[in-house]
Amino acid sequence: MKLILASGSPRRKNFLTEYGYEFTVVPSTFDELGEKDTPKQTVEYFAYSKAQDVFEKLKNGDVVVLGADTIVCLDGEILGKPKDKIDAVKMLKKLSGKTHHVITAYAIISKYKKIIDSVTTAVTFNNLSDDLISEYVETGSPLDKAGSYGIQDGYNLVKEYKGSLNNVIGLPIEIIKPLLDKFLK
């Protein structure tokens, strides 16, 4: 079985590489529009749709496709990737001093079975100064990340987190690895 990553995320590629997987990247063209009843249902739908999109395109039964999607959720509101720097500043100000949840959903699909699930991590932000937010946003790093931040970016944004750090970065590899290994046998 050949592993296919249905994502262009450099963080997801890094996780799979670090854990010794050989894989091919085939980014999904699924358009993330609309929300389901809950943020968890929404992110699981997006992850599954991305994986299914790639699986159907390949039309090869000897593949395992991994799709994933990450959202930041504050008081029931989904904070996706910012549209621009102004949007990133608004999101970071909204998160400042508060606890939010990062939900990464994953879908693993083969011709034999599929798994769709998600992992949630609670993240509490420090109180962020306007200067810190401006400096961080000017790096451009927040622009391709859900909630406009990367916990791994080296800025003092996060006070604490409860749960999987890898989940916040974009792939709860410690949970996905045993599942992938079973699919790839």
Active site positions, annotated: 69
DSSP H helices in the chain: 10-18, 39-58, 85-95, 130-138, 165-169, 173-184
65: which strand partners? 4, 109
C-alpha span between 109 and 50 (Å, rounded): 10
Sequence-distant (6+) residues with CB within 8 A of 86 are none
